[in-house]
Amino acid sequence: MKKAIVFMVILGTVFSLIVTTLGVSAEKVELTYMTWAGGGQRTADEAAVKKFNETHPNIQVKPVFVPDDYLSKLNTLIAANTPPDVAFLNEYLIHNWAANGALTDLTSFFRGEKSFKISDFVKGAVYQSQGKIWGVTPGVEVILLYYNKELFKQSGLAEPSKDPQHPWKWDQFVEAAKKLTVDATGKHPGDPGFNEMAVKTYGTTAPTFWLFILPFLKSNNSGFATSDGKQLAIDKPAGIQVIQAIADLIYKHKVAPSPAVQQGLPSTAQMLMNKQVAMFISGQWEVSTFGDANYDVGIAPIPMFKRPANIIWGAPVVIPKGSKYPKEAFEFMKFYIYPETGIQLSIDASWMPNMKSWYIDKDKVKLWMDNPRHNEDFKQVVPKIVLDIASVPENVTLKNFDPMVVQTIMPQLDLLWTGKERDASKVVKGLSDKCKQYLQGTWLK
């Protein structure tokens, strides 16, 4: 109840800070806001829309929640020339949609905005290409290393470095995983008689999802493609080293379950709390699971290869082309992306603010970070990752990311993760030819 009261009070003061003259219609305008939101995000969205409507009698927003088949329904509405006025869009689609004329150019709106500047936003929050602004995410994401503090203590191991500028090196991560992996008889990998078919606690899980692979590729000065987006990089030595190292967690070092074994296990977060796994790599959204369980999880920056690296992104809010009321739509969008509006989303949906001051100003930090989902580790580690380490990933910058990476490269890498092939250099052989048609550069000039 206290959180809800604070949230409503804050929302009530937002517009004294951000209202500008946009020439919005004096007549009552009805807008639609389309989102895939569910759970805590939907609850917070409903509260935000309600407050906006109360403070804007001439602009009334109707939220449309589409949890399933979202893109198909959004495409159908746009094709029928009846698009929503404001909508969420996947980050890997925004620049393509903009290039195809499906989105409203927001540059003039932001240029005339006096309550904030584009420079106020953290990296990865504003989506720009062709010299224009197409969308802004209300909340950003990063990747973290989670660990069981009790298992570290029992093993006599020092906890991972909390300094994003000097995280564990990959080899340190592997060595710790070996010491934390134990079978039913107490043996570790490399011990005579270690039974990999009867592991009690795995040291880690293998980060085989493309989203988790990206920061490690960056850490090794590589990527799925080169920085100009014109050549493949995953099939070069630096890229091969990363994916081989990930596969080796399963089949060489035996510190992580195979995909087949993991299918029969609980969620990774639950495994960590159950002491079935000591460490795992995932997004900052996992803090909601641990917070709900009142579990003090260890949080650290992810290990590095050659240099510290991380990624920062978030699904953008856009105004589809064809909205009859773009100025009024921007008025709602401006309200929605402002950090004050997103405080409850930071609590209920584990989002993080999109503006720099909300990681620096102590009063602002306190508003969103002081809750059971954000422990001391989170407070120490995450702001430094957001402000100093993370960079915009290829799912935002690379043209044809989905057909090239998700649909072509990742199915090939499955051969490595499943153990059908153990040599990464053989797995990536031939990918350059398969991906040649997609290597058409990047969206960022």
For the chain, give the mean pLDDT. 92
Mean pLDDT calculated for residue range 319-348: 89
Model confidence over 322-335: pLDDT tens digits?
A: 999 999 999 999 99
Does residue 382 contact residue 144 with C-beta atoms inside 8 Å?
A: yes
The whole-number pLDDT of residue 22 equals 44
Instruction: Tally the residues of the chain.
Output: 445
At residue 114, the pLDDT reads: 85
Residue 1 has pLDDT above 60, yes or no: no
DSSP single-letter state for residue 402? I
- Least confident window among 12-21, 160-169, 290-299: 12-21
What are the boundaries of each domain within the chain? 2-141+313-359, 143-310+393-438
pLDDT at 26: 59
Q: Do domains 2-141+313-359 and 143-310+393-438 have the same CATH topology?
A: yes
Summarised one tens digit per residue, pLDDT across range 246-262 is: 999 999 999 999 999 99
User: Top-level CATH class of 2-141+313-359?
Assistant: alpha beta
Question: In the prediction, which pLDDT does 18 show?
Answer: 41
- Minimal CA–CA distance to 298: which of 161, 118, 436? 161
Mean pLDDT of 137-162: 97
Average pLDDT of span 1-22: 39
By C-alpha distance, which of 129, 123, 121 is closest to 93? 129
Predicted pLDDT at 350:
80
Inter-axis angle of helices 326-337 and 2-18, nearest 10: 130
Please determine, looking at this structure, whether the domain spanning 143-310+393-438 carries the CATH number 3.40.190.10: yes
Mean pLDDT of the region 387-399? 96
Does residue 414 or residue 372 have the better pLDDT? 414
State yes or no: pLDDT of 15 exceeds 70: no
- Whether pLDDT at 11 is above 60: no
Q: What is residue 281's predicted lDDT score, i.e. its pLDDT?
A: 98
